Amino acid sequence: MKKKELKLLIVTHWFYPKQIPRAFRAYELYKRLSQRYHVDILIGDYKEKIMDSEKYEYKISKYIPSEKLKITFLANLKIIQLLKKVIEYFIGERYLITRGNFFIKNIDLHKYDVIISIGLPFYIHWIVANKIKNYKKSGGEIRSISDWGDPFVGQTTKKIAPYFKNIQKKVCEIFDYIVIPTEKAEAYYLNYTFKEKIKIIPQGVDFSRFKIETYKKNKIPHFIYTGIFYEKIRDPENFFKFLVELNKEFLFTIYTIKHGAIYNKVIKKYEQILGKKLEVYDLISREECIKQLSKSDFLINIENETSTQIPSKLIDYGISGRPILSFRSGDIPKEKFLQFLNGNYQGAKKIDISRYDINTIIDEFIKIIE
């Protein structure tokens, strides 16, 4: 079989133009693999099936991200929030209900040689694994790859039913390959699959897409954080408390989601306390974000509590070329921060962005596809 004749199906929940790491992964893989093979893609968030690369730009252009997420009064009711948590506890994710049927109807494996499942959300791997299992029972053959951004069981910020440990193990057993982004996560996945099936392939980035500004020192020290905060994992409150105590001029800019527990309970409070020293904006496009990062004096990274996850924002930080002050939410490096504020960036976190070049990453995927 010639390489171009290979037919691939990519299954993902997130996709461009959503500003989410898993959307970046799916977008880059689809764009590059469709240059080499016939690639169809199923997108759960949009309930869309894109049949080939020629239709891509036209079909996806209709998805314009909203500037602000509208949350209804009903959705804010405590009883509704509690009900959602109960449902998610037992089924893992609400997407299994809202998008599951779309995938069940549209995944037709007999048309393809290879299937790539991109998660999280975990329900993507769950549904695809069941499709593969039933297909192979009927005598079908297909090469299967599951791409994991983060682990699911025991690593997410929400509580899930104990039986998901067994479900995740069965899902991992069905796929031919388990792709993970970092060596640090390998020990975790060895609880669910064999070492031979694990392939370490980091996030892939097309560096040519991004333009950075020539850095000029700001009159008032300016530092930026971009990304989502999580309770007990990436909680900014201790850092805010430290900033309140400082008798220094600075401007702290945050690009994040302007809803949810952290925003409502923490960020809004410190917007009032810090006043003009704190600017909070909705997430912006990756291209524009990196451009803004490159104009700051330095960048703030609040680390995950676990070693199995590496924030994709660190790749964007690395592309911007600005120094990175990295710490855990419960351990603020006060002296080092003051040094950064004064322009001394010794001890900045180093990011080797060369290992994330999409040209290298796509070659790694081709090895297991073929």
Structure tokens that stand for 53 in this block: 């690369």
Band of pLDDT at residue 29, cut at 50, 70 and 90: very high
Residue 277 confidence (pLDDT): 96
What DSSP assignment string belongs to 75-120?
A: HHSHHHHHHHHHHHHHHS-THHHHTHHHHHHH--GGG-SEEEEEES
pTM comes to 0.82
pLDDT at 261 over 90: no
Q: Which residue has the higher pLDDT, 203 or 114?
A: 114
Band of pLDDT at residue 153, cut at 50, 70 and 90: confident
The CB density around residue 92, as the number of other CB atoms within 10 Å, is 23
Structure tokens that stand for 189 in this block: 């996945």
Say which amino acid occupies 293. Answer: L
Q: Are 29 and 116 in contact (CB under 8 A)?
A: yes
282: helix, strand or coil: strand
Q: Each residue of 42-98: pLDDT tens digit?
A: 999 999 998 875 555 545 555 544 444 444 445 556 777 778 888 888 888 889 999
User: 236: alpha, beta or left, given left = phi > 0 and alpha = psi -120 to 50?
Assistant: alpha
Burial label, 179 (beta-carbon count in 10 A; 0-12, 13-18, 19+): buried
Residue 2 confidence (pLDDT): 47
**Looking at the DSSP assignment, which residues form a beta bridge with residue 230?**
234
Residue 86 confidence (pLDDT): 85
Q: Are 221 and 252 in contact (CB under 8 A)?
A: no
The secondary structure of residue 267, as a DSSP letter, is I
pLDDT at 134 over 90: yes
Band of pLDDT at residue 230, cut at 50, 70 and 90: confident
Q: Each residue of 277-314: pLDDT tens digit?
A: 999 999 898 899 999 999 999 999 998 765 555 667 88
What DSSP assignment string belongs to 312-334?
A: THHHHHHHHT--EEEE-TT---H
| Nearest-angstrom CA–CA distance, 201 and 297 | 31
Q: Alpha carbon of 35 to those of 28, 58, 143: distances in Å?
A: 11, 17, 19
Structure tokens that stand for 186 in this block: 């390998």
Residue 333: cis peptide before it, omega within 30 degrees of 0: no
| Nearest-angstrom CA–CA distance, 141 and 184 | 32
Mean pLDDT of 142-153: 90
The secondary structure of residue 35, as a DSSP letter, is T
Mean pLDDT of 155-170: 83
% of the chain surpassing 90 pLDDT: 60
| Nearest-angstrom CA–CA distance, 179 and 144 | 11
Say which amino acid occupies 17. Answer: P
Element (H, E) at 41: strand 38-43
| Nearest-angstrom CA–CA distance, 157 and 356 | 26
Q: Which residue has the higher pLDDT, 93 or 231?
A: 93
Residue 70 confidence (pLDDT): 45
Structure tokens that stand for 81 in this block: 């929030």
| Nearest-angstrom CA–CA distance, 145 and 197 | 10
Mean predicted lDDT score pLDDT of the chain: 87
Residue 240 confidence (pLDDT): 94
| Nearest-angstrom CA–CA distance, 130 and 135 | 8
Residue 92 confidence (pLDDT): 86
Residue 296 confidence (pLDDT): 97
> Which range, 1-10, 123-132, 295-304, is most confident?
123-132
% of the chain surpassing 70 pLDDT: 89
Q: Which of 204, 222, 211 is nearest to 320 (CA)?
A: 211
| Nearest-angstrom CA–CA distance, 360 and 362 | 6
Q: Which of 215, 192, 189, 208 is nearest to 200 (CA)?
A: 189
Structure tokens that stand for 78 in this block: 């405590």
pLDDT at 233 over 90: no
- Find where tokens 């509690």 sit: 82
